[in-house]
Structure 1
Amino acid sequence: MHKTTPRDAAPDAPADLVRFDHVVKRFGDHVVLDQLDFAVQRGEHVTLIGPSGSGKTTILRLLMTLERVSDGVIWVDGEPLSHMRGPDGGLKPATEKHLRGIRKKIGMVFQQFNLFPNMTVLQNITEAPISVLGLGREEAEQRARELLDLVGLSDKVGAHPSQLSGGQQQRVAIARALAMRPEILLLDEVTSALDPELVAGVLDLLREIAHSTDITLLCVTHEMNFARDISDQVMMFDSGHVIESGAPEKIFGDPEHERTREFLSAVL
């Protein structure tokens, strides 16, 4: 495979909050993302759709620095995420300290709720703002209570995760991600672990967040109606490539690529 050299200059378009620049991700000999180029503008809501195994979740894991790129560069707010500038001004692989600094701009809600079972709801939400952002406890708790009110769980402040339903736990996870005030919120199949009757409530909450805040959203979902409702742009992935992208009306109403039509006919 052709080896790319990371570009030493930040992307030209300042409106791009996230840019994947010739990104390759391999697991052994398996190429999951192949020379991937795409951008997400500040305040934009972008949904990634496509079959399982097409590389969608890997994109989110790279942005959260849970995985490292094999080649290429990821830019966040004009700064390299996957790399950092060396003494000569060129790019070299990022250190953990650099990754931690960039990571503060990004929040993620996972398929599994990943709440700390020994902590109350309030403690789950305030732990990272206090320990990572350095917020005082009083400010962190005020922020947490406001977010619990937003997600409809103001009466669950002192509850432990085991006392909550799956839908309630996912709402706490959403509040926890928002408590860090990220510029970018990543959503990875956030309803896939929920019982069917709980899905609608969580999706309604996310619709409200999407429509009432200026946060940038990058979402992986198989909930096509949700993707249609919240997205400015929908990207269709297959085999590590974006094969088609556009406004939801275009992708869902008049897709150009045969693979997109096949996928949508199977899930709609």
Structure 2
Amino acid sequence: MEREPVPAPADAAPAAGDWMIRFDQVVKRFGDLTVLDHLDFHVRAKERVTLIGPSGSGKTTILRLLMTLERVTGGLIEVDGRPFSHMPGRGGLVPANEKHLRVARRKIGMVFQQFNLFPNMDVMRNITEAPVRSLGRSREEAETRGAELLEMVGLADKAHEHPARLSGGQQQRVAIARALAMEPEILLLDEVTSALDPELVAGVQCLLRDIAQESQLTILCVTHEMHFARDISDRVLMFDRGRIVEDGPPEQIFGEPREQRTRDFLQAVIEAG
């Protein structure tokens, strides 16, 4: 797919706002379908931002671009003040190659809707394999950290179980520990409780609230759980058709939304619940 040209920014240093994530006129198309339409948005370092909106509005595409599972069609993504989707080339910036992306995404961890654990590995191996292979940690060092993380997520006694012997909620806790084991600066959460049985949702949400409040992570979350969005967020963005409709603190978005589209969406969520 042909990508729109991107000029090099005048200064690659972090902006005065200290943005950790910056989307600058980002376009993402799948064939004739425009999923993100010249999107501008920013997330500050250590800020917790939640994306809400109807299915198909582009929320998960944002996370997939940050995980380099998709490439931008146009525009520029920066992470920690440096080009992420692109890299320096002759005459400006050019689309990033795999080496650039591999280094750039080390700052980012993601917890997916589906747990994506390796079924042939026990819990400890699921958590430690990437730190050993990608971060160069010794097996002993990785397992020490893995034990700490399992303690934190309440699964200290499950280190040598295989995923098939765990409940959905336990598997998602392992996935959270695995993401944190990579020592990310940014944590992406993609509908992390939507695949769980209702009685397991509260426990995982409580764990993530504790992580959000106690860590120094920048968190970008996509969820249809409005109570969770209210609790975990410093800022909430309402998306529709690849654009931001409304941007504000959770008490304003959920208490006094300014835009009719936001009010309609929240009313539909309440009625569906």
Regarding TM over 0.5, the answer is yes
Deviations 1:172-227 (A, max 9, x none): 00000000010000000000100111100000000010111111100000110111
Task: State yes or no: 1:77 paired with 2:103.
Answer: no
Equivalent residue runs for 1:1-268 within 5 Å: 5-9=6-10, 10=12, 12-13=15-16, 15-88=18-91, 90-268=92-270
* CA deviations over 1:140-188 (Å, ceiling 9, x no partner): 0011000000000000000000000000000000000000010000000
What RMSD in Å do the two structures reach over aligned CA positions?
Answer: 1.1
C-alpha change, 1:6 and 1:242, in structure 2 (3 Å) is farther
Alpha-carbon shift at residue 12 of structure 1 (Å): 2.7
Following superposition, the deviation at residue 7 of structure 1 comes to 4.3
Cα separation, partners in 2 of 1:82 and 1:181, compared to 1, 3 Å: same
Per-residue deviation at 1:105? 0.2
Q: Which deviations, in whole Å up to 9, do the C-alpha atoms of 1:24-52 show, x marking residues without a partner?
A: 00000100000000000000000000000
Residues 167 and 199 of structure 1 are in contact (CA less than 8 Å); yes or no, is this contact kept in structure 2?
yes
Cα contact 2:131–2:142 (8 A) shared by 1: yes
User: Amino acid of the residue matched to residue 162 of structure 2?
Assistant: H
* Distance (whole Å) between structure 2 residues aligned to residue 13 and residue 146 of structure 1: 36
What is the deviation of 1:5?
A: 3.5
Q: Percent identity?
A: 70
Structure 2, unaligned stretches of length 5 or more?
A: none
Relative to the length of structure 2, the TM-score reads 0.95
Q: Distance in 1 between matches of 2:129 and 2:15?
A: 37
For these two proteins, the number of residue pairs brought into alignment is 265
Contact 2:6 2:94 in 1 (8 A): no
**Counterpart code for 1:254:** E
1:264 maps to amino acid: L
Give the match's secondary structure for 2:35: strand
Counterparts of 1:7 and 1:52, CA distance in 2: 34
User: How many Å separate the matches in 2 of 1:201 and 1:33?
Assistant: 33
Deviation digits for residues 85-129 of structure 1 (CA, Å, limit 9, x no counterpart)? 1144x1011010000001100000000000000000000000000
Given the superposition, is the C-alpha separation of residues 105 and 232 from structure 1 closer, same or farther in structure 2, using an over 3 Å criterion?
Answer: same
- TM-score normalized with structure 1 length: 0.97
Counterpart residue identity of residue 262, structure 2: T
Quote the Cα distance in structure 1 between the aligned partners of 2:266 and 2:152: 33
